[in-house]
Amino acid sequence: MNAAWSQIVVNALLTGSISLLVALSLHLIRACNGFFDLTVASVFAVAPYGVFVCLHLASGSYPIQSGIGIAACVTGVLVALSCGFLLNWFLFAPFRRKAVSGGVLLVIGWAAYMFLENFLGVLFGQDSLSIRWFSEPQPIKILGAYLTPLNVATIIIAAVLALGAVGMLRGGLSLKVRCVADNPELALLRGIHVERVRATSAMCAAMLAGTAGILQGLDTQLSPRMGFEPVLNGIAALLIGQEWGAVGVILAALGLAQLQQFVGWTWGNDWQSVCTFILVVMFLLWRGSGRAISATSGGKL
Amino acid sequence: MIYLLEILNQLCIYVALLVAMDLILGKTGLLSAMQASIYGTGAYATGILSAHLGISMWITLPISIMLGAVVCSSLALISIRVSDEALVLVTLAFQMIWSDLANNLGSLTGGPMGLRGIPPFRLLGFESDNPIAGLVLSATLACLALLVAAKTDISPLGRAIKAARESELFLSSCGRNAALMKAQAFALAGAIAGAAGSIYAMHVGYISPGSFDVAESIRMITALVLGGLDSLWGPIAGAVLLVGLPEAVRFLGISGSTAANIDQMVYALILIGLVALRPKGLWGRYAIR
């Protein structure tokens, strides 16, 4: 394999790591609550802004020590968790009690995303901000491809979280999630605390999305709109891979990232999204996803 | 005075666009996030044909209408294959593809900088870049769109479309083809949106992808839900909100980017509040479900 191909594969692994965390986050909510939650895009952006605020508060002790930086990142994840919990508790739970459809929840999530994105814009402005408190060390060469230590850390963290999420969905939570998604009233009768399961899945999803946001924020710049594109990629991966459960979603995210990198290298970065969405539309038309596959029809987790 | 005429002109174009959207969302009950791209297709068809090739508006306008109808009715065919929820995401994907194409095909569309030099509509010595002539043209379009919506509402086709919205199975049992009904409603909606795009392009003489992006689609959905679905007054009330709110924010003296943020936040809050408290909007007869 020549150096260019190695770099494409490694770049795809890197972008795919962010994408698969977002896709798993969307999958977790879809599997449990039965809708495509677009507020994942706002949680993705809120977490790195939480890190930014923490670093800003600690900026009196410049240069910032690694310990403070890592503590800020942990705080950012906690901010994401809280955001996920609050959105579920105060926004989606009241609508679910009215027994609204997944379509209405999708519209509500869309509106909440719009609100939060613009709220971040009002608070922090539209200019790009940085949360990278450390100076970037020299890239290292692995199998002919160049990677920075941050890139390596991103891939490892994403792999660990993805394994954790798959383990959780295959483990004890799986049955509860399936019961709640299938028939909340029967789940309640069976002694499952429905709202607790939903809140747990929303918080786990927020943690995955928030971590992805922080990892991307460390590598690039922050902007209020930074969550939109990863979530579109995540939705694309979810639509393609959901039939085969969490593992299918992960593979679809990595496959799409590979396709995007290849398209970017061949035709230019401007065509990456076009190719992804064309593939998704073709896949949906071929498989008829969405009608055949539903979280409430006992699909794989 | 010119400012007021321009506002009214914009209002009339949005009335037509929201009537078209109501034919899809209100009558068939399907949520499409690509209305702005249909509008943009009409605008770019007129822009490219007239600015690049010098083709007369008597040809570009019907082509824009036909293109809008074809693109939109293809959506009806897709809706057969996917669930209602997945359709929202497919249309969102289409909207993103459209925006990327408009930005990337620079030699044809002018890219992010937009397309300039679109000649105005000329009729009986009047040109549509004149505010009064432009208003007459867009008001005619709005009236025609409202007339089409009113006629459709009481026609057998309109009733069949609404029956398909409630139960496709029931409509099939009556011997009607639900997909065909939907395709007709979508084609009508696409034709109106294509015409609105064409008239907009000829009035302003300059178009850019930013005017037809996903945010524009979201604004239209919010405005229509606020005004009310499946009603004639709903699109009018929604258009007043769509045009009036940014102007109101502007008069509050808030700076450009913050004003845009606040504008979007208000839309989002209105949308959440309406779905929670008044799902049928102000004058609606149907609620999203």
Query: Best residue in B77, B80, B81, B255 to probe A by mutation, most A CBs within 10 Å?
Result: B81
CB contact under 8 A, B93 and A112: no
Pick from A94, A271, A290: CB nearest B83: A290
Q: Does A118 touch chain B (CB under 8 A)?
A: yes
**Closest CA in chain B for residue A289:** B82
Whether residue B212 contacts residue B39, with contact meaning beta carbons closer than 8 Å, is answered with: yes
B147-178 b/e (C-beta count within 10 Å ≥ 16 → b): ebbeebbeeebbebbbbbbeebeebeeeebeb
A275 interfacial to chain B (CB closer than 8 Å): no
Tell which residue, A280, A227, A263, A288, has the closest CA to residue B94: A280
Q: Which residues of A touch B103 (CB under 8 A)?
A: 270
- How confident is the model over A103-132, as a mean pLDDT? 88
Mean pLDDT in residue range B218-224: 85
- Distance from the Cα of A79 to chain B's closest Cα (Å) equals 21
pLDDT band at A129 (very low <50, low <70, confident <90, very high): confident
Proportion of chain A in helix, strand, coil states, percent, rounded to 5: 80, 5, 20
Residue A293 pLDDT class (50, 70, 90 cuts): very low
Give the other-Cβ count within 10 Å of B194's Cβ.
Answer: 31
pLDDT in tens, A208-243: 999 999 999 998 889 998 998 899 899 889 988 888
Mean pLDDT of chain B: 87
pLDDT in tens, A92-102: 999 888 878 77
Cis peptide, bond prior to residue B120, ω within 30 of zero: no
Give whole-number Cα distances, B283 to A38, B51, B229, B287, in Å.
Answer: 28, 41, 7, 11
Residues 260-289 of B with CB under 8 A from A: 260-262, 264-265, 267-269, 271-272, 275-276, 288-289
Q: Which of A106, A126, A232 sits opposite B257 (nearest CB)?
A: A126
Q: Each residue of B73-92: b (16+ CB within 10 Å) or e?
A: bebbebbebbbbbbbbbbbb
Across the interface, whether the CB atoms of A122 and B258 are under 8 A apart is answered yes
Asked if A115 lies within 8 A of B268 by C-beta distance, the reply is yes
CA torsion, ordered B10, B16, B17, B23, to nearest 10 deg:
160
Tell me, what's the pLDDT at A63? 67
For residue A96, what is the nearest residue in chain B, using CA coordinates?
A: B276
Cα A32 from Cα B107, distance rounded (Å):
47
Q: For residues A53 and A186, is the Cβ–Cβ distance under 8 A? A: no
Contact B264 A115 (CB under 8 A): yes
Could you tell me the pTM of the whole model? 0.85
Query: Which tokens belong to A260?
Result: 């995007």
Report whether pLDDT(A1) > 70. Answer: no
Pick A278's closest partner by Cβ from B97, B258, B269. Answer: B97
Total CB pairs under 8 A between chain A and B: 125
What is the CA angle B64-B65-B66, rounded to 5?
90
- Nearest-CA residue of chain B relative to A99? B289
Please name the residues between 151 and 190 in chain A that touch chain B, using a CB distance below 8 Å. none
- Interchain pair B100, A274: CB under 8 A: yes
Partner residue facing B90 (CB), from A232, A270, A281:
A281
Percent of chain B scoring above 90 in pLDDT: 34
* B-chain residue closest to A104, CA distance: B289
B132–A contact, CB cutoff 8 A: no
Subunit contact A281:B93, Cβ cutoff 8 A: yes
3-class SS of residue A294: coil
Which residue of B78, B85, B218 is in closest CB contact with A102? Answer: B85
pLDDT at position B149: 93
- DSSP assignment of A93-131: HHHHHTT--HHHHHHHHHHHHHHHHHHHHHHH-SS-B--
pLDDT digits (tens, 9 = 90+) for B116-160: 989 888 777 777 677 888 888 899 999 999 999 999 989 988 898
Give the percent of chain A with pLDDT over 90. Answer: 41
Question: What is residue B65's predicted lDDT score, i.e. its pLDDT?
Answer: 95
The pLDDT value given to residue B283 = 82
A93 touches chain B (CB under 8 A): no
